[in-house]
Amino acid sequence: MALTPSLRRRALLACCGMVLAASSVAVRAQERHIVMASTTSTEQSGLFGHLLPAFRQATGIEVRVVALGTGQALDMGRRGDADVVFVHDRVAEEKFVGDGHGLMRRPVMYNDFVIVGPRSDPAGVRGRDVVAALGRLAAGSAAFVSRGDKSGTHAAELRYWKAAGIDTPAGRAPGYKECGCGMGPALNIASSTDAYVLTDRGTWLSFKNRGQLAVLVEGDKRLFNQYGVIVVNPAKHPHVKRDLAQAFADWVVSPKGQATIADYKINGEQLFFPNANDER
């Protein structure tokens, strides 16, 4: 039986309604994601490949990571180009919050920094004292690769040089070279040139192209490396997905999130240690 014009109109409107409803569902599904500005160490260590699928399974929220140095990651937050930052430079993080760019900073986990270099250790830095090690490097001609990228690792390295009485290592340490690169590339340069380099232990444990490199300096309490998470302030950038970003910040410090971090290991060795309720 042929449809009357009125019935055809109703059928068309019903179809349009179903299409619009389906489109609305699809848009809402697409919007259940956040952008996280984080560090190359968390990305290159493989942690996010382990952590973020667990978060997505628990919440349905996808996290899209932009891995940069901590300084650049915080700059993304300042511009409103990220919903949440996950970084490791406490002084810079507290300034970020103090300047109104982020909501509360929350500690998440820690590991430590180490100095790696040629196993033969021509500069004689092997030991526990990071400041003494850098002093020996400055006094000699051994090559040292600095990330030079305003990352959390670079900021820590500069603090150690300063503690050794060297404010500008580029002018005082003959073998000092900045690569302006992430942790993985810096390690590759060190491996190919038998140079020394400061690295976070997580990236080192996941690094394959070690060549003659070995851990030479470790165990100094000054090498402690804390990570924190901060939701970007929606008062500065109204488009920030505060609720979704807060869901990530809450989950990563929850018992489930903390256990997931602790479960991440390479060859049986734990890379990061959760301390959401126990920051030093």
pLDDT per position as a tens digit, 221-245: 999 999 999 999 999 999 999 999 9
Q: Which fold has domain 32-111+225-274?
A: D-Maltodextrin-Binding Protein; domain 2 (3.40.190)
The rounded distance, in Å, linking the Cα atoms of 13 and 1 is 20
Residue 17: per-residue pLDDT: 53
User: Three-state DSSP class for 216?
Assistant: strand
pLDDT grade, residue 27 (50/70/90)?
very low
Instruction: Please say if the pLDDT value at position 124 is more than 60.
Output: yes
Q: Which percentage of the chain shows pLDDT scores above 90? A: 84
- Tell me which residue has tokens 């670079």: 154
Mean pLDDT (whole number) for 251-266: 97
- Tell me which residue has tokens 């949440």: 84
Residue 14: per-residue pLDDT: 58
**Are the beta carbons of 116 and 196 closer than 8 angstroms?**
yes
Q: What is the model's pTM?
A: 0.84
Enter the DSSP assignment of 3: P
Helix (H) or strand (E) segment spanning residue 108: strand 102-118
**Are the beta carbons of 145 and 196 closer than 8 angstroms?**
yes
The rounded distance, in Å, linking the Cα atoms of 211 and 232 is 40
φ, ψ (nearest 5 deg) of residue 112: -145, 165
| Mean pLDDT over each residue of the chain, to the nearest integer | 91
Tokens of 252: 């990563």
pLDDT grade, residue 3 (50/70/90)?
low
CATH 3.40.190.10 domain range(s) in the chain? 32-111+225-274, 112-223
- The DSSP bridge partners found for residue 228 are 87, 107
CATH code assigned to 112-223: 3.40.190.10
pLDDT grade, residue 30 (50/70/90)?
very low
Instruction: Please say if the pLDDT value at position 258 is more than 80.
Output: yes
Q: How far is residue 6 from each of residues 9, 11, 204, measured CA to CA in Å?
A: 5, 9, 71
* Helix 70-79 with 152-163: angle, nearest 10 deg: 130
List the alpha helices (DSSP H) in 33-182.
40-44, 47-59, 70-79, 90-98, 130-139, 152-163, 169-172
- In degrees, rounded to 5, the angle at the alpha carbon of residue 237 between the alpha carbons of residues 235 and 240 is 100
Q: Which residues contact 137 (CB under 8 A, 6 or more apart)?
A: 123, 125, 144, 173, 175, 176, 196
Q: Which residues contact 220 (CB under 8 A, 6 or more apart)?
A: 128, 129, 130, 131
Q: How far apart are the first and last CA of the chain?
A: 79
Sign, CA torsion 108/203/98/245: negative
- Tell me which residue has tokens 């942790």: 183
* Between 217 and 30, the higher pLDDT residue: 217
pLDDT grade, residue 171 (50/70/90)?
confident
Instruction: Please say if the pLDDT value at position 87 is more than 60.
Output: yes
